[in-house]
Structures are given as C-alpha cells and as structure tokens.
Structure 1
C-alpha cells in the first residue's frame, strides 16, 4: 500500500499508518516422526482420551487429544520447539471439528484446560520444570498432572490458584487427585488393557466409580442384559414354564 506525503505528513507518520501486524505462520507441521516413549505410554494416553470421550459421549462441546502439537506463538512455530502434551482437554469448543493439532490462534485464543504428561526418567525433570512453567505462565491451564506409567508412585497434580500460580493438589485417602475442570478424580487402577497388565491412570466419577472405556461399557451392558435374561428365566420357571420353549 502506498501513502502520498503531504505538507502535514511526515515519513514517520506514513510508516506508522502503513504498518500491518504480521500474519501468523501457515506452514505448520504436525508430525515429527518421533514415537511415544513406549507402548505403555501410548496405551496410557489412549485410555485417558477414550474414557473421557465415553463419559461424555452425548456431548460435542469439548475436544480431547494427545501427542499433538500445540502452536501458541509465531516464534514458537518458527522454531519448532514444542511437542504437544500426552493428553489434553479443552472445554466449550466444537468437538466435531477435525484437527491435526491445536493451533491457538485458530481456536479463538483457547488453550488446554487440562493437561496430563506421561513421564519417563528422561522427561520427568522437563515435565515438572520447564513444561510446568509454560502451562502455568503462558497457557494458564487450570489443571496439570504428571504420571509415570512405569512408576505408579510418580503421580502429582497442580491446580491454578487465584493468586496466579500452581498449587500442589493433596490426594484423598485413595491417593486420587481431584480434577476440578473435568469434575472427575484421577487415580490409579490395576488391570490389563490392550493385553498389557499394568497400573494405569484412570478417571473416577464423584461417586468413586471407574470411568469406563468404550469396550468396558459395552461389556457391562452385555452382562446386565444377560443378568436380566437370567432373572426372567428364573421367574418363568417359578411359574412352571420352560423359558426355552417360549
């Protein structure tokens, strides 16, 4: 855009009126080709994502993902210096929108409301240091948790206090930590998932019930139907009827 100078227009004024803010970068990458730490880390991530989706299967006002790049500034995007959290959730957004990653300036300035990092010995220091500072100071993420899938005791969480800083969460008598943003507890659960037996980080509701995975919910419904059928059969037999002949 050209600016015509007049007697009352200085070169400095022309430069100021000609200035436009730089556009955010568009050449974003969403895959660095690096896998998660281990297969257990992958399962642990999917357990959190899939169980939250199951719990809120009738809702479309949230988004949850994991191991996805989060872009929050032009400088960070240019430097390719940040890898996304292992699990995150954002509330009050269109959950049906297809996304390759989370680009803050394309999401109305929204940052994750909950983040979980799945630690390993090589990442623990960064997860509880540099990343925690980033989530507290830049993202302003209300709830942040860290968990080591190979070391169940390595489980901590923080809630963003009104004073502006993270406050360490105190576990309940079961060792669970309350996630105020989601309205669920986060706690450990021992069992086999995807053929791997381990101690997993799981969601629990306010009544202390395990938030189920889709396949667990399907199995629960099948067992309930089988129990109803058996009760009906017993009732028929008490009336002198053979349920197999009906």
Structure 2
C-alpha cells in the first residue's frame, strides 16, 4: 500500500456533544436557558439532524427538505441551508441562534481528534505513506487539523463541497488518489460509513471501517491501519 485515505468526522475527529454544542452557542451569544430546557432542546436538535458531524440522521425530515438534505455536501450553500433548515424544526427563543449554531460546529474547538489519530498519521508519514482526507462536508476543515497539530501529517484533501460531488461517488476518491499520485489499487480508505466510504471500493481501494463513537469510547480503532499498509 502506498497511501491511506481517511474520512474526517467519526473517523479522525469527533464533534462535541449536542449539549456542549448548544451550551457553547448560548454562551457565545450571551443567552441562557434553564438546565432542563437546555438538555431537552439539545436532544431535539440532535434528533432533527441539525447537529452536523454527529452522524445522526434526521427523524421526520419535512418533505420540502428531502432533496436539499440528499445533496447537502455538494456545496457550502446547500450544506448551510440543509442543517439550518433541519434546526428550524426545533423552536428556539432566539431565531438568530440557528445561524450561530451552524457557525459553532465549524470552530476547531468543537472537534476532538480520536486518541490514536496523531500516532497513526505521524507513523504513516514516517513510513513514507501518502495521507489524504476525503470528506463529505460543506466547509474548510483544514483549520481543524491545524488547530490540533495534525495538518503536517496530511498530504491532500478532497472535500465534497470543493468538487461538487459527494461520497460514495468514486470521483471524490479519485481526486484524492490523483493528488497523492497513488494507484487506487494500492490505497486503503478508512471511514465510519459503509455506504459513503465504501464507494472507494469501486476504484479498487481496500476499505477499512471504524465505529463512529465518542472519543472516550474508541481509544485505538485506527491502529490496525498501520498493519494494513504493511
């Protein structure tokens, strides 16, 4: 194997909890909610699919949002519209918070790397293995990698909103392989979604799956990748 591609959310990084996400947004806005109401609102927002990166599919998504949701990762505009649209299914006392919530999820501080991410990425770099990040996303995640000191270990990014195509479309994986100068048949794709990340298999990539869990519950799921490249 000459290169490894990684998904972002649920693979290398995990978004903060819905409760933390809402709490940080309220704090930044100078707003406050009683604790029981805050917790109830956080649960409702997550169930609506409004919490980007959580991996939770929306429950009862309105028909008028269905097409938008399906294409949400193809552009920054669609991504914002889909997630703020889902959030608006949950009544908030302050309507301006829907956009503030969306902005919060893009903050580097909202993300935590999995415990073994740094070790795996740095070891691959030391072995001369190319590293790419292939993500369905509507914003630039590079600052998240820089904030957490992992950017030096990544050689290329293939982000859906920058190319107008989203996983599992093989074209997005092809972009990453080309950027790394790697034959897809000598590439491992690591991700948490069998549907989305499994699309790499159409190019001949080997695919390895991890579980989308809180960082405290998944300390070493990335380490087997080092054996795969050997």
Smaller-chain TM-score bracket: under 0.3
Instruction: Judging by fraction of residues, say which structure has more strand.
Output: 1
> Which is greater in Rg?
1
Question: What is the TM-score when the length of structure 2 is the normalising length?
Answer: 0.26
Looking at both structures, which has the greater relative contact order when contacts are Cα pairs under 8 Å and sequence separation is at least 6? Answer: 2
